[in-house]
Amino acid sequence: MRAEIPTISLVGYTNAGKSTLFNRLTSSDVYAADQLFATLDPTLRRLDIPDVGHTILVDTVGFIRHLPHKLVDAFRATLEETCNATLLLHVIDCHDEDRLDNIKQVENVLEEIGANEIQTVMVYNKLDLLEDREPRIDRDEDGVARRVWVSAQTGAGLDLLQQVIAELLGNEIIHKKIEFSPKMGKLRALLYEASAVVEEINDEQGKTFLEIRMPKVDFEKALRQTAIIERDLVYV
């Protein structure tokens, strides 16, 4: 949170395949089993998303019907990660006949812990168990992604899932050309370090211009580190 890195939390009914999806996305080896509460403590890994940069992916405990208050207290650490997330991926076993009821139970728990207002994408997992179904993105009338169909087991559709994450978290991308003076050398170095420089141009008058593309939050952080005020920058 101090570093202002977006956090993505996996939530879902128990055995929906969250840990398998987590392992696929992060090339990790978190314990995954078809049993109740295979994941108890929150597990965090770095996940790099195009046009977003570093994010933190969190695997959480599987929710169940009527989660008792004693269990809410016991799982407070993992639930806090959910409440503080930037984006929730609600993982659903699309092959489960009770999936609609399971979705409702998860939504009830999210409301109980105060996480129901966080931006959420439905991830319909275990697509490999359905016949003649291809990975796809379902969008609403405004073109916003609401559901992604994937198979964590085979990896099918995970490219679409990363695309959706980039769309939802990367809407604060800045793409500008800035005139740089010699006193802005530290900022220039930070931008190169962040791989944010698309092109550097030096004109006939000896002026230097950098075309940059990066998350707005990272750009603002770089300005703070160099004590440069954005209104003093010259955009061209």
Q: What is the mean pLDDT of the chain?
A: 82
The pLDDT > 90 percentage for the chain reads 35
Instruction: Give residue 221's pLDDT band: very low, low, confident or very high (50, 70, 90).
Output: confident
Find the range with the poorest average confidence among 5-19, 50-64, 122-136: 50-64
0.75 cut: is pTM over it?
no
What one-character DSSP code corresponds to residue 26?
H
pLDDT of 164 over the 90 cut: yes
Output the six-digit token pair for 220. Answer: 């603002």
At 91 the pLDDT is: 95
At 82 the pLDDT is: 81
Supply the Cα-derived Rg of the chain in whole angstroms: 21
Distance CA 148, CA 158 (A): 9
Give the tens place of pLDDT for each residue, 80-92: 678 888 899 999 9
Distance CA 16, CA 12 (A): 6
Output the six-digit token pair for 228. Answer: 């440069």
Distance CA 153, CA 135 (A): 13
Output the six-digit token pair for 9. Answer: 């939390």
For the sheet with 208-215, list strands across it. Answer: 197-202, 208-215, 173-180, 234-235
Contact in structure between 195 and 54 (CB atoms under 8 Å)? no
Instruction: Give residue 122's pLDDT band: very low, low, confident or very high (50, 70, 90).
Output: very high
Winning range, highest mean pLDDT, from 64-68, 113-117, 121-125, 212-216? 121-125
Q: In the predicted model, what is the mean pLDDT of residues 120-137? A: 94
At 19 the pLDDT is: 86
At the second CATH level, the architecture of 7-170 is 3-Layer(aba) Sandwich (3.40)
pLDDT of 4 over the 70 cut: no
Count other Cβ atoms within 10 Å, centred on residue 69.
Answer: 8
* Element counts in the chain: helices (H) and strands (E): 7, 11
52 or 137, greater pLDDT:
137
Tokens 């559709």 identify what position? 157
Output the six-digit token pair for 101. Answer: 């009821």
pLDDT of 149 over the 80 cut: yes
Count other Cβ atoms within 10 Å, centred on residue 24.
Answer: 18
Q: In the predicted model, what is the mean pLDDT of residues 92-97? A: 94
Q: Where are the beta strands (DSSP E) in 106-186?
A: 120-125, 136-139, 145-149, 173-180
Distance CA 121, CA 88 (A): 6
Give whole-number Cα distances, 167 to 18, 39, 127, 172, 200, in Å: 21, 28, 22, 10, 27
Domain boundaries, given as residue ranges, for the chain:
7-170, 172-235
Q: In the predicted model, what is the mean pLDDT of residues 137-165? A: 93
Q: Report the residue count for the chain.
A: 236
Who's near 215: CB < 8 A, 6+ residues apart?
A: 51, 52, 53, 170, 172, 173, 174
At 93 the pLDDT is: 95
At 113 the pLDDT is: 80
For the chain, how far is it from start to end, CA to CA, in angstroms?
33
Find the range with the poorest average confidence among 10-19, 23-32, 159-168: 23-32
Instruction: Give residue 219's pLDDT band: very low, low, confident or very high (50, 70, 90).
Output: confident
Q: In the predicted model, what is the mean pLDDT of residues 214-222? A: 80
CATH match of 172-235 with 3.30.70: yes
